[in-house]
Structure 1
Amino acid sequence: MTATAAPVRVRRKVGFWWFALSAAAIAVFAALPYLTSSLPSLAEADNGLAANYAHRPATVQFALYAHIVGAALALLLSPLQFAARLRERAPRLHRVVGRTVFGAIMVGGAAGLVLAPFSSAGIAGTLGFGALAVLWVGSAVTALRAIRGGDVEAHRQWMVRTFALTYAAVTLRLWLPVLIVAQVAAAGVDGQTAFDRAYLVVPFLAWVPNLLVAHWWLRRR
């Protein structure tokens, strides 16, 4: 191994484990409350998302659970698709995981599109989360079509974009506290007001920078 290759390899390992562990943590953290408690009980416990959907029709509530399960599964498994050793040593497992991730994105994305009009962020949430759902599904479908057509490089590039959109579940939860603390510190507003204002921005902030970084990284390669 050359002197320049060693730092690159270390950075790749650090990056992989950061994405894998942060994705796993959010997948479990975000989904577990909804899989262990009912919407009414979560709403009574002052869970803002649950409170927004506790009184919705059964079809919307079903879409909420489908989105939570699909998105959590996609987020949990997606980093495995970028493990080079797994692709090389267990290609069949790589394909099985890939199909599972694709199915989870189809479910989570379709359900997210159903939920977008009911977002507590209003029109910003409808447009931001709706666009995310459409691009998420479209990117995954494009990645699948590429590999079926034998274009491995295009498949990898579209999988990077797809993961950038999947990772929005993490960046949303990273941006929210940053925006809330910044508002409280700078403007002295109360926590709830700061949250409401921040939630008007994160429907786009959660995924647009991710796509820009993915695009920059792909061009840099």
Structure 2
Amino acid sequence: MAVNEYRLRPGAAPRKHRIGFWWIVLSATAIAAFAVLPYATQSLRDLAADDKEVAANYVDRAVWLKTVFYLHVGCGGTALLLSPLQFADRVRLRLPRLHRAVGRIVLSAIVVAGSAGLILAWTNLAGPIGTAGFGTLAALWLVGAVNAYRTIRRGDVAAHHRWVVRTFALTYAAVTLRLWLIALTPLFVSMQGIDDHLAFLRAYLIVPFLCWVPNLMVAELWLLRDAADPRRAGGGSGA
């Protein structure tokens, strides 16, 4: 993509947009580290012994399924960590080669992580609800990545931007899932008088849809606002 394929919005980005951008960067970085580093530094058995429910769910699975799990964690973390960079105006406008290179890495990581997610959806902690919720998330994630690639290959920058926004909303589910668990687990402990482990499992029954449906709704509202305001063409952060 050439630099002139994007139109820089007049003036600096509003302060609230910059704050929102940096919140996304910092939260994505924190969750990418929080979600990936334990699996890079400890074995599943050690994590399971520390009462990590997800690790316990996979510790005794077949080797091929554990490999799929690690691919999902590693590639998903990569996509989450690098995706915010694609929304930075300075990178997109001034370093188009870097923008393209990072974009290829992100889309490739999503294809691997999403494909792995389709498999893992059948062995998740939330049972049929999780299979439906996480399976749909993985399928839509793949659809978004493929369409983001196809639209930019044919030179349709506006459509590419729309698909990138939708795809990132689904990538960001890794953050919102954990935020919902952080909020819901102690809520269930206090309201139902149960221990942390059982509260976590009950919260996990809710998040398979809650972690991504609101994200996608916000993304669509954002895109509608973009369409109604031509000055916002390009959709970057202003950062």
Q: How does 1:194-213 map to 2 (within 5 A)?
A: 194-213=199-218
Q: Counterpart of 1:216?
A: 221
Q: Counterpart of 1:185?
A: 190
In structure 2, C-alpha distance between the alignment counterparts of 1:192 and 1:37, rounded to whole Å: 21
> 3-state DSSP class of the match of 1:29?
helix
Q: Counterpart of 1:122?
A: 127
Q: How does 1:68-217 map to 2 (within 5 A)?
A: 68-217=73-222
In structure 2, C-alpha distance between the alignment counterparts of 1:78 and 1:135, rounded to whole Å: 17
Correspondence for 1:60 among 61, 65, 82: 65
Q: How far is the alpha carbon of 1:101 from its aligned partner?
A: 0.2
Q: Which runs of 4+ in 1 moved over 6 A?
A: none
- The answer to whether 1:28 aligns with 2:33 is yes
> What TM-score, normalized to structure 2?
0.87
In structure 2, C-alpha distance between the alignment counterparts of 1:125 and 1:207, rounded to whole Å: 12
> 3-state DSSP class of the match of 2:126?
coil
In structure 2, C-alpha distance between the alignment counterparts of 1:6 and 1:95, rounded to whole Å: 25
Q: How many residues align?
A: 217
Q: Which amino acid aligns with 1:14?
A: I
Q: Name which structure has the greater RCO, CA cutoff 8 Å, separation 6+.
A: 2
Gaps of 5+ in 1: none
In structure 1, C-alpha distance between the alignment counterparts of 2:38 and 2:125, rounded to whole Å: 19
Q: How far is the alpha carbon of 1:125 from its aligned partner?
A: 1.0
Q: Using the aligned pairs only, state the percent identity.
A: 57
Q: How far is the alpha carbon of 1:220 from its aligned partner?
A: 1.7
Q: How far is the alpha carbon of 1:197 from its aligned partner?
A: 1.1
In structure 2, C-alpha distance between the alignment counterparts of 1:141 and 1:215, rounded to whole Å: 18
> What TM-score, normalized to structure 1?
0.94
In structure 2, C-alpha distance between the alignment counterparts of 1:121 and 1:32, rounded to whole Å: 24
In structure 2, C-alpha distance between the alignment counterparts of 1:171 and 1:6, rounded to whole Å: 31
CA root-mean-square deviation: 1.4
Gaps of 5+ in 2: 1-9, 227-239
> 3-state DSSP class of the match of 1:175?
helix
In structure 2, C-alpha distance between the alignment counterparts of 1:184 and 1:48, rounded to whole Å: 17
CA 1:84–1:8: 2 relative to 1, 3 Å: closer
Q: How far is the alpha carbon of 1:8 from its aligned partner?
A: 5.2
Q: How does 1:43-54 map to 2 (within 5 A)?
A: 43-54=48-59
